[in-house]
Each structure stands twice: as C-alpha cells, then as structure tokens.
Amino acid sequence: MNDKMSIIAFSGTEDKLMAAAIIASGAVANDLEVQVFVTFWGLTRTIKNGKTTPDLSFDGQKMKDKVFALMKQKNVPNWITMLKNAKEVGNIKVYGCAMFADLLEVKKEDLDPIVDDIIGVNEFVSLSKESMTFFI
Amino acid sequence: MDEKIKPTKIIDARGSFCPGPLMELIKAYKAAKLNDIISVYSTDSGTKRDASAWIKKSNNELIGVFEHEGYYEIVMKKTKGEK
C-alpha cells in the first residue's frame, strides 16, 4: 500500500479539474494513496462564494456551450463531487497551496471542505517522494 | 444471467458517468462480506471494461458481464478480503 500518486492541479478550468478528479478516482481504485495539491487557478475554484464560473481550457472554447449543455443534461458531477466520491473509496488528501492562499488572503475556512489542509511546497514535495506526479 | 445466481447487492448506477459506477462498486465491495455477490447496472460502456479489470486485478471473481436492453450488468463475487 505504499504506491502513491500526486497531482498538482494548477489549472482552474472544469475540463482539466475533471481530468484531475477522474485520474485520482482511478488511482484509489488501484489502491494508490493520492494527494492533490490545488494551486493558482485550481485553488481559486475551491474558494467558497468565489464567484468563479466554470470555463473550459483554450482547446475547448469552440465546443464550450455544447459540452456544458451535455454535461448538465447527463448529470455529470462536477470535479469536487467526483473527488468527494473518490474520498469515500480510498485515501485522497487535498491540499491548498499556502503561497497562493496567502497572496489571495484566504484561509482554510474560506475553502470548500474538500480541502483537507493548506500546506507549502516543501511539505508537498516531501510527501510526493516516490510517487508518480502529474501537473495539470 | 444464470437464474441460480442471486446478487446480495444490486447497484443501479445507470446514468452515472465514468468513474461513477466503478466507485459505487468499490464502495459496495468494501461494505460487503466474503462471498457476497455484487451486481452493478451501468449505461456507461467504459465501465464494462474498467469494472471487469478492477474485479480481476483485485483478485475477486468476475461472474460475468451481461448485456441487457440499454444497459450492462457486471456481476462479481467477493472472494478476497480487505488488505
């Protein structure tokens, strides 16, 4: 049970955060311990009442309306719900980036409860040793 | 499916998207007792492969994948305890 996966969720667009949440789900299904480090635009999407509207990354702009309409029609859960479901299956920890949280002056209580703690890069990297790591 | 096989638990994950049905199956597996039979209904075709692969890899028994009208049924038996 020592296998680990680390995901740095840098982007704040729905497609990339969904990809992160789906990969994390696949990882816990395979008994990996997972840690997700939300930073920059990923972190802003965890801010409660943050007034950030879900968007798609540049590649998806032309299909944006269609994709969001289909996701709504087919009840596709958002990335936070996906991560919550994955947390019920295995060991996933979500960490907010201390540096960006400081810059935006947000504290742990300002973030969605999916975020377990706010930690710095040093702690995240030390926790990521010997894990496969993705930057999304 | 063989009439003699009676699932202990049925998970109706129809309408749920990848990885939803697999996550539901694993949750049910963790709550199940040894030799329980779990059946999951899914409309998501990826789950057919994903769930079958998970069942085999986790050293449980894949009883079968059955195609019904508009959905798949994946049936497993819990033959492996939790680590």
The per-residue pLDDT for A66 is 96
pLDDT of A1: 43
Q: How confident is the model at residue A54 (pLDDT cuts 50, 70, 90)?
A: confident
| Residue-averaged pLDDT of chain A | 94
Tokens of A120: 């710095």
Strand partners, A6: A35, A133
- CA distance linking residue A66 with residue A64, whole number of Å: 5
Determine the residue type at A81: T
Asked whether residue B57 is domain-assigned, the answer is: yes
Give the pLDDT mean for A104-132: 94
pLDDT tier, A136 (very low <50, low <70, confident <90, very high otherwise): very high
The Cβ-side half-sphere exposure at B1, using a 13 Å CA radius, reads: 21
A25/B23 touch (CB, cutoff 8 Å), yes or no: yes
Domain containing residue A70: 10-135
Residue B83 clears pLDDT 60, i.e. is over it: no
State which amino acid sits at residue A44.
T
A27 domain residue, yes or no:
yes
Provide the pLDDT for residue A22: 96
Q: Which domain holds residue B40?
A: 9-77
* Whole-angstrom Cα Rg for chain A: 15
Torsion on CA atoms A101, A12, A85, B1, rounded to nearest 10: -170
Number of domains in chain B: 1
Interface of B with A in 15-74 (CB under 8 A): 15-20, 22-23, 26-27, 30, 50, 54, 57
pLDDT score of B80: 84
For A68-97, write each residue's pLDDT tens digit: 999 999 989 999 999 999 999 999 999 999
- What does the pLDDT read at residue B2? 61
Catalytic residue at B6? no
Residues B53 and A29 sit within 8 Å (Cβ to Cβ)? no
Q: Confirm whether A5 is domain-assigned.
A: no
Residue B51 corresponds to which tokens in the numbers above? 């769930």
What is the structure's pLDDT at B1? 60
Number of domains observed in the structure of chain A: 1
> A51 CA to chain B: closest CA distance, Å?
27
CB contact under 8 A, B17 and A74: yes
Q: pLDDT of B18-63, one tens digit each?
A: 889 999 999 999 999 999 999 999 998 888 889 999 999 999 999 9
Residues of chain A with pLDDT > 90, as a percent, come to: 91
Show the tokens assigned to A100.
């960006």
Does residue B40 lie in a domain region?
Answer: yes
Indicate whether B27 belongs to any domain: yes
